[in-house]
Structure 1
């Protein structure tokens, strides 16, 4: 038993065992089924030295509580969180020089902001947009009791990755202050008369964990030395030396700021194609992908982790077979790129060929343009990738594919479609990728078809927006006032930007707050567009023209368990359908109301939003099916309002993977089933047990785990949701390593036929997959 407690100022106090009992009572308050004596035995066993510090005592409580976490007693994770929280309070109080009390653990907000602005940690806008009186009013809204919503892993993640520290790495910011600073920064450009109330509303949404902001926003909002606020980007590479190298530079600039990046390479000529008429001189796409691989490794994300890049290629591209082998662990290493992810863009016609066991032709996009002579209304040469089937089983792509296949002067490689599919599935079982991108389904439901086409997705397969390559127009020497400069002129393409946040379904739905929550979420997302710091100008331009956002969800399995709904059931499929219809209705209405206030997005005219095709295509206005939460009459009224007033955002709904921030919220990730009833987080010297959220004798029966679930039920739920999601879903397949090839193929065919726009990872217990941090909204 210790004799002395050493305080931070080196004062020595007599050890008082009663204080341990009082502290145990405090951290166990209102936590059912936890035994104080059991906790104290563990603490005393760890306090063996004669002299201990307060930090050692706190750590002993934390570790003892963690050791007691189990499926039977999951609430120990909250006891451990409270012990960690006490330690954070003490550190912040010492570092900021204020007196913390158990019932008043937070210091004053204004001095914190003032100090961190002066140190260059916070941005000046926090002081220029808000007066001291206003900041004091916002401080009065901070509710420390909401810190008790965190479990241990959630609080540890928030503390380690997101809370602001000074340049010596000392804790300065506490959880509720992080939420308030984010709210203040996202609202600082709002009109002065509304700014304060909007900041309060954003704080309400985040601090109650009804929602989470995406990782870049959580980490960077309000901070000066930080990256940008958008989650990820998609570039389309032009088939030119300038286009390829400029794209690599843009990728590097975004990667250094923490962005995840998708790169579409379907326009780049294939191996063996000609260059300026010289036959058989092109090396194809693989060397350029290897260059991107080197960029991912060498330009890391603000020194924290290597860059995250996904490359996409069409399944009718001549280089597709080599592309599918990119991440395999055998073969020629000069044809491998282990540090990028890859995805395949699949037309309906290919999937039909797989089912029919028929042949499939591969083409070079450069040769297709040169030989076929297809052009758009502006005389721009078109390739096969520039077409899609406007209807299921009928459309421009299959017509152009047939023309190309029949042309005697166009070279091609012919292989059985099923052989390509086998290569895809082999790679997926070994590496988790390639992702699957169903290009016809995506483009048929694209509400902005009038302004372009979607060629691929992002790093997490949930973003689907118009794309086009940036083209270098000219370079010239310009002399003015005796100064000579090189001026490069470019025609900006659609460089996709995704701005994300997500609803915590398991808190927001039972609380009945969706109607209040979604409008403030949409405003937060829309404001990110205006205050963001994106170095790549064409990305800035695209962001301003479409104002695309991606509101998502997480905690689906958590919610189903709370509602007593089994994953493998018709009830779950129907519940998904009605819930996501309601979310979509509130989302579109919120964007429409924001358009009334601030104006519609610049490319609204001619969109499916304006024509009403968006609503008709999804069956909202036909009257054939009445929603549980939204009536046909409500949809018809909204359709008229949107046609008249517009919407603020060209795309709105995208379900991201939510890896990190669902951990902070203490819920299940995204739309995924629970991985395990009791999972473990590995730390350097110990493991942290993490039981399923709200695990109890009641909910355990509804927590069937991912690898035990029939994936066809997951596909059916995803299909029900997809009708309401204008972009995509980060939808994972969980399969056993010994799955039969025919069963695996059936899953892919069912996903395609079910109208899914993409599938994300194929997960097997044998695989360890590193998630994209940026989309972890």
Structure 2
């Protein structure tokens, strides 16, 4: 048997050489458990003559990953083998990789197919020495096996199907895309990214420095109008945004209800369902996503006469011509509806064509207009508000949607009050911007890993370092507004007028564990508030400093912030004494801010996976995780719990098997002390009211909104109602986005 080397030479297969190759990557591992020769033996048994060294390394890394049940160091070794393999297959000079991507030609047509834009190619070549020398390739080995394979499969740039980029190249590419000629700032951003303090969404990593640098992932779209031209124009806009991998929230409140007369044709309207069915079908034909996932959430106010048909759109039963299952759905819910459900009162269904201006009003004005239309008999039908509510909850239980977003809270607690009525949120409810037929809201986002600011030895949290990092992220996101590719002129108009950005966090549960705070503890709740207070303070301070240099954003005048009204003022809440808010308010009063909105708490699994943290602000769903290798799934205990068990001398194969058999729970394992049981309690094992209480506590420092996941086991319908009303009464802008029941996700 022979192996085909990377340079094309054939050499005999040697067991000792394979073992030696693996041994070189075993530094700092526990060699009492890790056995390179065992991996080599598995590799030899699966070989065939003519196998390449690339295939050898891939096989070795998969075998190492599959042995994780013997010791967690095998996962580390698997990642090292995979990363080392990529390093051997790619150039180690960043500027040369960019040159290859710029000068690339199609292997079929031989025509130039530059992936990198000329602007960034020239910047990188002009500053090649400085950029090349700043890259630290050893940091690639900090990625886990699963994270690295995710990057390798979906995000590292390729030439004619072959990966040419390393993770560190990708991060430097993102940094240069943001800062351009400011190489020192680019290197600063690169270091923060590669040291895993923060990360951008996949859309940013994928398109940075490319010829279509569309780095934003969230868009908010309002119908162009209730007409054939308006419907088709909005469809075209949606298609363009989906083509550029955008995730869209758009509202259809203005579309006249079924059977409403159409003066121009003499016919009647077919209502929402055929229109949304057409959108559902059309978007799939233009989406560039190779994963079968939704990209659109459709928002409707619950007084619309087509509400019942709207709620059925995602159901798995019924006539297919009445279904549009590839989109998500949400209710833009006024306080009046929630109050009538609470009071067990009557609810009137109306047509927006026959009852105009309801979508343009909120709060008391909406209530007065709605009740006037009721008195005038303009409604199509009257029903018990609770009957509609029960249908909403039942549909949410069955399909995961509709999401519930509170129209009045979103409008009363936004810095966009001076622009007009906000009519919808984003795909996952965390982005709350003003949009109109002339403006498509667009938001660049980033996620900060808050566990990075914990000193686990001293059990202290470095708020000053967090603030410093937030300010860097704020500056970066503001710069991205200038360098983004805008798919439509309406997106550029909105971004340049309002300059909204969205900063969130990940790893809150990891930070609690490092601080030794159980998720439900008072200490955890206090830290939760202080983290988001720091986030908001740092972002405002940075935005004000940018405004000193460049001036406030265009639509700043008459905004709540311009009148000294910050987010916590809108909540009628007080900050802690952690930061000097009075001084910052005076500074803002004098200079303004550069960005209309700053904080949005997203729940992005990709960004959390990138930095090896728990998603968003959630508790752990499970204390086990899954590794994919050799076409199989291998479950193993999460590293933080594993380290604690090893330190206490509690780790053995029996404990491992018990945790796995208990689906990641440690609550019924007698050998594990109560201290760890409290610390590693999963989302399924704690009252969901805890999640909402913490969300409400940080709400005064989130000027957009939050994407919340909820986990329930028993009596879901009754609990769902309780949760939604608790969120509404607490003043939150949205309640449940992703609903998970009995261990499964209702998304």
* Residue aligning to 2:392: 424
Q: Which runs of 5+ in 2 are unaligned?
A: 105-113, 456-460, 646-675
The superposition leaves residues 316-357 of structure 1 with CA deviations (integer Å, 9 ceiling, x where unpaired) of 111111111111112232221111100011112211222222
Which of residues 277, 298, 316 is equivalent to 1:329?
A: 316
Pair 1:326–1:4, CA change in 2 (3 A): same
Work out the CA distance in 1 between the residues paired with 2:575 and 2:203.
40
The superposition leaves residues 391-450 of structure 1 with CA deviations (integer Å, 9 ceiling, x where unpaired) of xxxx22222222222113x13321111111111111111111111111111111111201
Aligned residues: 696
For residue 296 of structure 1, report the CA deviation from its aligned partner: 2.5
Which of residues 361, 378, 403 is equivalent to 1:387?
A: 361
Superposition map of 1:714-753 within 5 A: 714-736=691-713, 738-753=714-729
Pair 1:616–1:122, CA change in 2 (3 A): closer
Secondary structure of 2:514 counterpart = helix
Q: Which runs of 5+ in 1 are unaligned?
A: 94-106, 370-382, 390-394, 471-492, 771-777
Secondary structure of 2:355 counterpart = helix
For residue 728 of structure 1, report the CA deviation from its aligned partner: 0.8
| 1:186 correspondence with 2:178 | yes
Give the stretch that moved more between structures: 264-273 or 24-33: 24-33
Work out the CA distance in 2 between the residues paired with 1:32 and 1:598.
55
Pair 1:603–1:597, CA change in 2 (3 A): same
Which of residues 569, 572, 597 is equivalent to 1:651?
A: 597
Work out the CA distance in 1 between the residues paired with 2:431 and 2:32.
44
* Residue aligning to 1:433: 401
The superposition leaves residues 355-412 of structure 1 with CA deviations (integer Å, 9 ceiling, x where unpaired) of 222211111111012xxxxxxxxxxxxx1122222xxxxx22222222222113x133
1:297 and 1:307 in contact (8 A); partners too: no
Work out the CA distance in 2 between the residues paired with 1:222 and 1:616.
38
The superposition leaves residues 12-68 of structure 1 with CA deviations (integer Å, 9 ceiling, x where unpaired) of 33544444444333333224576232x531430231247454234323331222112
2:413 and 2:571 in contact (8 A); partners too: no
Which of residues 86, 89, 94 is equivalent to 1:88?
A: 86
* Residue aligning to 2:448: 503
Work out the CA distance in 2 between the residues paired with 1:643 and 1:668.
38
| 1:122 correspondence with 2:109 | no
* Residue aligning to 2:76: 78
* Residue aligning to 1:61: 60
* Residue aligning to 1:6: 4
For residue 209 of structure 1, report the CA deviation from its aligned partner: 1.1
Give the stretch that moved more between structures: 22-31 or 135-144: 22-31
* Residue aligning to 1:269: 256
* Residue aligning to 2:156: 163
* Residue aligning to 1:546: 498
For residue 451 of structure 1, report the CA deviation from its aligned partner: 1.2
1:286 and 1:322 in contact (8 A); partners too: yes
Pair 1:266–1:181, CA change in 2 (3 A): same
The superposition leaves residues 543-576 of structure 1 with CA deviations (integer Å, 9 ceiling, x where unpaired) of 1111111111111222222221112233322221
For residue 680 of structure 1, report the CA deviation from its aligned partner: 2.6
Secondary structure of 1:507 counterpart = helix
| 1:680 correspondence with 2:626 | yes
* Residue aligning to 2:365: 396
For residue 228 of structure 1, report the CA deviation from its aligned partner: 1.4
Work out the CA distance in 1 between the residues paired with 2:585 and 2:31.
52
The superposition leaves residues 461-509 of structure 1 with CA deviations (integer Å, 9 ceiling, x where unpaired) of 11101122x2xxxxxxxxxxxxxxxxxxxxxx22111111110122245
1:529 and 1:547 in contact (8 A); partners too: yes
Pair 1:345–1:668, CA change in 2 (3 A): same
Superposition map of 1:88-487 within 5 A: 88-93=86-91, 107-119=92-104, 120-132=114-126, 134-166=127-159, 168-188=160-180, 192=181, 195-224=182-211, 226=212, 228-237=214-223, 238-276=225-263, 281-301=268-288, 305=292, 308-369=295-356, 383-389=357-363, 395-408=364-377, 410-468=378-436, 470=437
Pair 1:50–1:652, CA change in 2 (3 A): closer
Pair 1:280–1:74, CA change in 2 (3 A): farther
Work out the CA distance in 2 between the residues paired with 1:206 and 1:710.
35
1:313 and 1:344 in contact (8 A); partners too: yes
Pair 1:721–1:466, CA change in 2 (3 A): same
1:601 and 1:648 in contact (8 A); partners too: yes
Work out the CA distance in 2 between the residues paired with 1:216 and 1:316.
36
* Residue aligning to 1:28: 26
Pair 1:239–1:130, CA change in 2 (3 A): same
* Residue aligning to 2:546: 594
* Residue aligning to 1:558: 510
Work out the CA distance in 1 between the residues paired with 2:530 and 2:116.
42
For residue 711 of structure 1, report the CA deviation from its aligned partner: 0.8
Secondary structure of 2:448 counterpart = strand
Work out the CA distance in 2 between the residues paired with 1:600 and 1:690.
51
Pair 1:626–1:185, CA change in 2 (3 A): closer
Secondary structure of 1:328 counterpart = coil
Give the stretch that moved more between structures: 398-407 or 692-701: 692-701
Pair 1:593–1:690, CA change in 2 (3 A): farther
1:584 and 1:653 in contact (8 A); partners too: yes
Secondary structure of 1:247 counterpart = helix
The superposition leaves residues 606-654 of structure 1 with CA deviations (integer Å, 9 ceiling, x where unpaired) of 111111112561579x8x6533x32xxx111111111211111111111
* Residue aligning to 2:485: 533
Work out the CA distance in 2 between the residues paired with 1:750 and 1:32.
49
2:95 and 2:124 in contact (8 A); partners too: no
* Residue aligning to 1:41: 38
* Residue aligning to 2:659: none
1:547 and 1:650 in contact (8 A); partners too: yes
For residue 535 of structure 1, report the CA deviation from its aligned partner: 2.3
For residue 130 of structure 1, report the CA deviation from its aligned partner: 4.5
Pair 1:754–1:333, CA change in 2 (3 A): same
* Residue aligning to 2:654: none
TM-score for the superposition, normalised by structure 1: 0.85
1:215 and 1:660 in contact (8 A); partners too: yes
Work out the CA distance in 2 between the residues paired with 1:122 and 1:278.
50
Secondary structure of 1:519 counterpart = helix
Which of residues 716, 741, 745 is equivalent to 1:764?
A: 741
Work out the CA distance in 1 between the residues paired with 2:630 and 2:390.
39
TM-score for the superposition, normalised by structure 2: 0.88
1:109 and 1:136 in contact (8 A); partners too: no
Work out the CA distance in 2 between the residues paired with 1:44 and 1:214.
40
Work out the CA distance in 1 between the residues paired with 2:61 and 2:586.
57
The superposition leaves residues 720-750 of structure 1 with CA deviations (integer Å, 9 ceiling, x where unpaired) of 12111000111111122x5243222111111
Secondary structure of 1:245 counterpart = helix
The superposition leaves residues 138-167 of structure 1 with CA deviations (integer Å, 9 ceiling, x where unpaired) of 21111122112211111111121111111x
1:299 and 1:307 in contact (8 A); partners too: no
Secondary structure of 1:129 counterpart = helix
For residue 306 of structure 1, report the CA deviation from its aligned partner: 6.0
Secondary structure of 1:557 counterpart = helix
Pair 1:262–1:14, CA change in 2 (3 A): same
